Chain A
Amino acid sequence: MVEAGAWWTVLAAPAILFGLAGLAVVGDAALDARGAGRPLTPGTAVRPLLAVSRALLAQPRRLPAPDRLLWRAGVITVPVAAVLSTLVIPFGGHVVADLSVGVVWFNAMEALTWAGLWLAGWGPNAAFSLIGGYRFLAQGLAYELPLMFALISAATGARSLRVTDIAAAQHGLWYAVWMPFALLVHLAAVLAFSFLGPFAYPAGRDIAGGVLGETSGADRLLLQAGRWLWLAAGAAMAVPLFLGGGAGPGLPAWAWSLVKTLLVLGLLVWVSRRLPVIRADRYVELAWVVLLPPAVLQVLVPALVDLNL
């Protein structure tokens, strides 16, 4: 059922994820500086990472009658779920736990973010924060179904829920080529569950930061880290699902995994800055009326191909 990787993969997987998330933050800051016309120095790029030490030293904000237990649980759940999701994502030839139901595991961890963010909104006992939590649920209802069909497309193509099987089944022809719509839906969902860019609605400026509004210090750091960790995890998952995993000429498998993940991550960071925030009620309409029918048809394509074989 489970094929355990070498012991060091337990340490390497979170380390790589944190590295990728850090790179995404640095890239975002660099694009910020370029957009503002500031000179691009190493200092401007690394500045957001200095906020880590500032957040750890900051005095926590006290609020009247918060639900501390649930708040803390929610804030911790978001980054922890992101790290746990990487257990099943192969990187080159290595994977921490090659679960036979890896795709479902990734999806379950992503669903934990629903609980985490709603709790993070409920905990502070503040209206805007709670609205942010509810906004994420509305957004979740919109992106989840198309995402599930996108994941099922890749699993159907490989006739397996094991992520390494899916990566191996794409020898020669990537799923991105004949399931482009599933890849597109997956990438949109990655932005949605990391509530970044066009899907930053739960943490919107119009509600004073929403789920992030009342957090301070380490709590805020954990939630912000959770966003970027989920972005990195989603980008890393797209590689074995749609881009052939570590397959490629010349370079070793881990290098191809890294290159592809970085490309997807870079694309997501760039796109997230190009699009305006979309309201959840509008995205529900788009997701269910426009995205869902082609997503179902997309599953039909690998199913028919499988039947022919």
Chain B
Amino acid sequence: MRLKDCHNFNDFRKLAKKKLPSPIFHYIDGAADDEITYGRNTSSFNDVDLVPNVLRGVEDIDLSTTIFGKKIDLPFYCSPTALQRLFHYDGERAVGKAAQKFNTMFGVSALATVSVEEISSIIDTPKMFQFYFHKDRGLNDSCLERAKAAKFDVMALTVDTITGGNRERDLRTGFTSPPKLTLSSLFSFATKPMWGINYLTKGKFELPHLQDYVKEGTSTNTSIGNYFSTMLDQSMNWNDAEKLCSQWGGHFALKGVMSVDDAKRAVDIGCTGIMVSNHGGRQLDGSRSPFDQLAEIVDAVGDKLDIICEGGFQRGTHMLKALSLGAKACAGGRLYLYALAAAGQAGVERALGQYKAELERDMKLMGCKKISDLNRNNLRFRS
């Protein structure tokens, strides 16, 4: 199987599985507890049907949308995800360049393996920095200052991860960052020698936003769950978020809002957007899917801030459904991570290109020329 055989999300997933040592593949592929929320994030799209309109004359399709004051050419973007150089040695460089090529937003994680400075030196398209609220206030200030100096457009504060989710696949595979060779993981690394060679020869693995502050930023092997549980400030509250919002002074979003009440409070503290998200099913299992919750939130605050639906997207039609309900844009992590693992920048470009082609085709079949043509009249919920 090669990149040219990848026609959809599942194909990229299969190819990624072939290329990655299994602890790393399962770190991407897995989720919390019984992975019920993870499954529901995608299956929720199947409880609603699209109802197309015909004979609308749909030669040219405009997929652009404006989020956080920036016009992007696609109604979806790459969510911030951690540790990308574990998945492909180019890591964030590959994803950033691919996002730039399609002129869409690129989210960089606080746990990124390439620095904000380097990212902004290689791409000039819209960028989001994702931020975890650490106990170490010096680290927090440094992240904000560096993202500001690197001219990032949006700051997204993750609010659903004050403690690590119970990712049982990681417990079984012994996944740590950086990868640690244990007797049980040795075999899975040994069977993917190309990954090992690239990992060892293509530059040192590091977490540049953290390394001056925490030993976990460099060479100490830690599980991600352990990192979240020990380093992040679990006392984080609305006052802290409000302070960060004004300290940043630009477009600011909360990532991981799921309730209508919280969405309203996000407006009150000055957020310009929210990501309706359950962290890809990786945190609270049994949590509602973003798509199931989207309509209520749009009804409450859709006119006051940009609502991004994040999680579960595997198809252009999934995105059409979320956009029809009132999301301003869609976002995803696995959406491009399997493709990154499968083939680096070329893989991500192929994936983004396929979603774009799907959206264009699906918009034509729906009889819609631009994103604002999509509305709830296009949808019927099955009862």
Decide whether A and B assemble into one complex: no
